[in-house]
């Protein structure tokens, strides 16, 4: 590759792996980073300065639970002052009035709020936090009252998929501009809980029909993004818009990676923003260059007309399901390993097994947490 590669569109800022919830499909790694290893405020601000210089447009604050960091308003203010668009992806359970006011004063542009279900009891069970659903609804109202656009994220799976129509209804009632109905993606904790989460083909088809009907009904009023599970697909998704093509993901301790799940891949040493400038990471780090573009591709991708559309699918899924990150994503019907998807569907069983909950022993800095499991 010659010349400079175009800058990433977005920086995914995992401020902390701490979270009061314990969702069994969390995309965080199975080994969570400890609070003591987190980058401090000034280190994050330095990274945002570098991001702005590099040409990054958007910062997505996530976690864990980003509002568990007391310095979140300071970080938002700093990023806004550098001209970066700021988005927070949150469970909302810590988003009280003072924090909402502080974020508004800091210049936050957008908040995405996640809900586990529409039935409070089941929502609290899935998140492993009693009372979470009520707090989330209050947070949604707070976001609307502040005049910010609201996006509601619903992660759907076999234990809430029957409620998708009601999820869309509540998004409409709360005045959301956008809602995301996203089937669980099977990395990290999601892969560990796959049998408890993977819906049947019939359930998926019914959900797709519900979403299509709602899209037609709500056209011009609410956008509905829909993410389907790879396990019933015939072509893979363009994961992260291609490896190291559009995003840099930074872990709480400062590890820079092309995606949130990349540290599951063996044989990689990911650089740290503590000692390497973001521009150098983006342009020349070997881990970023490893699967960028199409040169690395084996057949059938190498000669496929979709190779610059889906970029061969997801490297982390290829590794998780085949043991080799350099193979074609098994979600593709053309992949030599495509049969593993059907095998996983066959293993899901008639009744879901109990959830294995994500846990971190340290609670939030901001509020006590109460687990119900």
**From candidates 314, 320, 332, 341, binder to ligand FES by CB under 6 A:** 314
Give the residue with the Cβ less far from ligand FES, 192 or 366.
Answer: 192
CA distance 368 to 364: 7
Under DSSP, is residue 151 helix (H, G, I), strand (E, B) or coil? strand
306 binds, among ligand SF4, ligand FES, none (CB under 5 to 8 A by kind): ligand SF4
Task: Tell me: does residue 184 bind ligand FES (CB under 6 A).
Answer: no
Task: Tell me: does residue 332 bind ligand FES (CB under 6 A).
Answer: no
Task: Tell me: does residue 311 bind ligand FES (CB under 6 A).
Answer: no
How many angstroms separate the Cα of 345 from the Cα of each of 149, 167, 264, 342? 38, 25, 23, 5
Nearest to 358 by CA among 198, 195, 157, 189: 189
CB of 43 to ligand SF4, least distance (A): 37
Q: What number of CA atoms fall less than 13 Å from residue 218's CA on the CB side? A: 23
334 binds, among ligand FES, ligand SF4, none (CB under 5 to 8 A by kind): ligand SF4
Q: What single-letter DSSP state applies at residue 87? A: E
78 binds, among ligand SF4, ligand FES, none (CB under 5 to 8 A by kind): none
CB of 157 to ligand SF4, least distance (A): 24
Give the residue with the Cβ less far from ligand SF4, 144 or 338.
Answer: 338
How many angstroms separate the Cα of 227 from the Cα of each of 2, 21, 221, 237? 35, 22, 20, 9
- The residue behind tokens 């400038």 is 277
CB of 76 to ligand SF4, least distance (A): 37
Helices 339-346 and 315-322 pack at an angle, to 10 degrees, of: 70
Phi then psi for residue 320, to 5 deg, are: -60, -35
Task: Tell me: does residue 331 bind ligand FES (CB under 6 A).
Answer: no
Phi then psi for residue 85, to 5 deg, are: -75, 130
Helices vs strands, H then E, count in the chain: 13, 9
CB of 1 to ligand SF4, least distance (A): 19
CB of 238 to ligand SF4, least distance (A): 9
239 binds, among ligand SF4, ligand FES, none (CB under 5 to 8 A by kind): ligand FES
Under DSSP, is residue 76 helix (H, G, I), strand (E, B) or coil? helix
Task: Tell me: does residue 12 bind ligand FES (CB under 6 A).
Answer: no
Give the residue with the Cβ less far from ligand FES, 99 or 259.
Answer: 259
Task: Tell me: does residue 297 bind ligand FES (CB under 6 A).
Answer: no
CA distance 302 to 313: 13
Task: Tell me: does residue 187 bind ligand FES (CB under 6 A).
Answer: yes
- The residue behind tokens 């796959």 is 194
Interaction site with ligand SF4 (CB under 6 A): 235-236, 300-301, 304, 306-307, 310, 312-313, 328-329, 332, 334
**From candidates 262, 273, 297, 335, binder to ligand FES by CB under 6 A:** 262
Q: Where are the beta strands (DSSP E) in the chain?
A: 10-14, 58-62, 85-90, 110-115, 150-156, 178-183, 223-227, 247-250, 256-257
Which listed range, 29-37, 49-57, 209-217, 308-316, lies at the site for ligand FES (CB under 6 A)? Answer: 308-316
CB of 231 to ligand SF4, least distance (A): 15
Which listed range, 17-25, 213-221, 259-267, 351-359, lies at the site for ligand FES (CB under 6 A)? Answer: 259-267
Binding site residues, ligand FES, CB under 6 A: 187, 239-240, 243, 259, 261-262, 314-316
């Amino acid at each position: 590759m010659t010349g400079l590669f175009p800058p990433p569109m977005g920086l995914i800022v995992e401020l902390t792996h701490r979270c009061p919830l314990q969702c069994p499909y969390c995309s965080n790694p199975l080994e969570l980073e400890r609070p003591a290893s987190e980058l401090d405020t000034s280190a994050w601000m330095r990274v945002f300065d570098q991001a702005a210089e590099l040409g990054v447009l958007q910062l997505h604050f996530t976690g864990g639970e980003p509002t568990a960091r007391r310095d979140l308003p300071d970080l938002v203010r700093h990023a806004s002052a550098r001209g970066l668009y700021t988005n927070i992806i949150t469970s909302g359970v810590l988003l009280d009035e003072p924090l909402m006011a502080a974020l508004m004063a800091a210049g936050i542009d957008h908040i995405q709020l996640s809900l586990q279900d529409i039935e409070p009891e089941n929502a609290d069970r899935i998140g492993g936090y009693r009372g979470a659903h009520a707090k989330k609804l209050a947070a949604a109202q707070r976001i609307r009252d502040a005049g910010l656009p609201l996006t509601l994220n619903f992660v759907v799976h076999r234990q809430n998929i029957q409620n998708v129509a009601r999820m869309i209804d509540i998004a409409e009632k709360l005045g959301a501009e956008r809602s995301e109905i996203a089937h669980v993606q099977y990395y990290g904790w999601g892969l560990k809980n796959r049998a408890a989460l993977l819906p049947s083909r019939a359930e998926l088809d019914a959900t797709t029909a519900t979403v299509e009907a709602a899209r037609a009904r709500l056209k011009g009023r609410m956008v509905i993004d829909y993410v389907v599970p790879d396990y019933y697909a015939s072509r893979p998704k363009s994961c992260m818009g291609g490896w190291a093509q559009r995003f840099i993901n930074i872990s709480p301790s400062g590890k820079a990676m092309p995606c949130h799940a990349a540290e599951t891949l063996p044989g990689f040493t990911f650089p740290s923003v503590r000692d390497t400038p973001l521009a150098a990471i983006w342009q020349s780090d070997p881990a970023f260059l490893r699967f960028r573009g199409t040169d690395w591709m084996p057949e059938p991708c190498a000669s496929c007309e979709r190779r610059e559309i889906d970029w061969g699918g997801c490297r982390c899924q290829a590794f998780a399901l085949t043991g080799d990150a350099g193979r074609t994503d098994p979600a593709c019907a053309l992949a030599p390993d495509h049969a593993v998807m059907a095998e996983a569907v066959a293993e899901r069983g008639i009744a879901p097994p109990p959830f294995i909950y994500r846990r971190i022993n340290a609670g939030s800095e901001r509020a006590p947490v109460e687990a119900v499991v």
